[in-house]
Amino acid sequence: MHRSVRLTTLTSMALLALGGIAQAQQQPPQAPNMTFFVTSSGPGKGAELGGLEGADAHCQKLAATVGAGAKTWRAYLSTNTNLAEPTKTVNARDRIGKGPWQNFKGDVIATSVDDLHSANNKLNQATGLTERGNKLPGVGFTPNYHDIMTGSQPDGTAFPGNMNMTCANYTSSQFGKVEVGHVDRTGLADTAQAHSWNSSHQSRDCSQEGLISTGGNGLLYCFAAQ
């Protein structure tokens, strides 16, 4: 074989290999059987998610990037009746299907809606993975992103209508607060609410900065409803 031909062949092989690496970097790991994840990122406008529809679409979009887009994805969020939107009460627990739900690695985090809202659920920092299979930085990490928006009470139902714990039903980065849960089940105090995955405390406000300031980053729980 002529020397230049050999070089060309080697170069081609190297290029091919490089291309393969580039492709692997662009293509996230696939998880077609996943039915639960925490969003790796939020829409970026604080708790203004475009309402429940916008939040669901965000879940769907992220799920599609890892090969799980064939399912119907729902954000775990409640909305409540308020001045702007009377009779808007929706309970997060009623919109996520029946379970069981499993994470990126196949770990079942809850077998049913009741199980999910009981002390028996298996949601914690090790299992509360993003759609890409990554853990989230919790207490002890800088920054801490353990606050996951839910707008819900511990049993997964909406707050009463005299409270705005949903940033005006996820349409505002200005008005109200949003209730969050701790995906790492850890907080500043050894209390039931600090250990709650879905109802730990309210955010400072509804802006992205406000969410970050209390230990979050505008992240959501997503469940495959079917």
Residues that bind another protein (CB under 8 A): 81, 83, 86, 153-154, 159-165, 175-177, 179, 187-189, 191-194, 196, 199-202, 204-205
Is the separation of the CB atoms in 131 and 148 below 8 Å?
Answer: no
Shorter beta-carbon distance to another protein: residue 69 or 154: 154
Shorter beta-carbon distance to another protein: residue 113 or 180: 180
Residues 124, 63, 222, 182, CA torsion sign: positive
Distance CA 68, CA 164 (A): 33
Distance CA 152, CA 91 (A): 7
- Exposed, middle or buried by CB within 10 Å (0-12, 13-18, 19+), for 114? middle
- Closest distance between another protein and the C-beta of residue 58, in Å? 24
- Closest distance between another protein and the C-beta of residue 176, in Å? 7
Shorter beta-carbon distance to another protein: residue 99 or 210: 210
Radius of gyration of the chain (CA): 20
Shorter beta-carbon distance to another protein: residue 44 or 160: 160
- Closest distance between another protein and the C-beta of residue 201, in Å? 6
Nearest to 208 by CA among 45, 50, 54, 51: 45
Letter string b/e over residues 135-157, b meaning 16 or more CB atoms within 10 A of that residue's CB: bbbbeeeeebbbbbbbbbbbebb
- Closest distance between another protein and the C-beta of residue 47, in Å? 14
Q: Angle CA(89)–CA(90)–CA(91) in degrees, nearest 5? A: 125
Shorter beta-carbon distance to another protein: residue 84 or 126: 84
Shorter beta-carbon distance to another protein: residue 126 or 188: 188
- Closest distance between another protein and the C-beta of residue 80, in Å? 11
- Closest distance between another protein and the C-beta of residue 147, in Å? 12
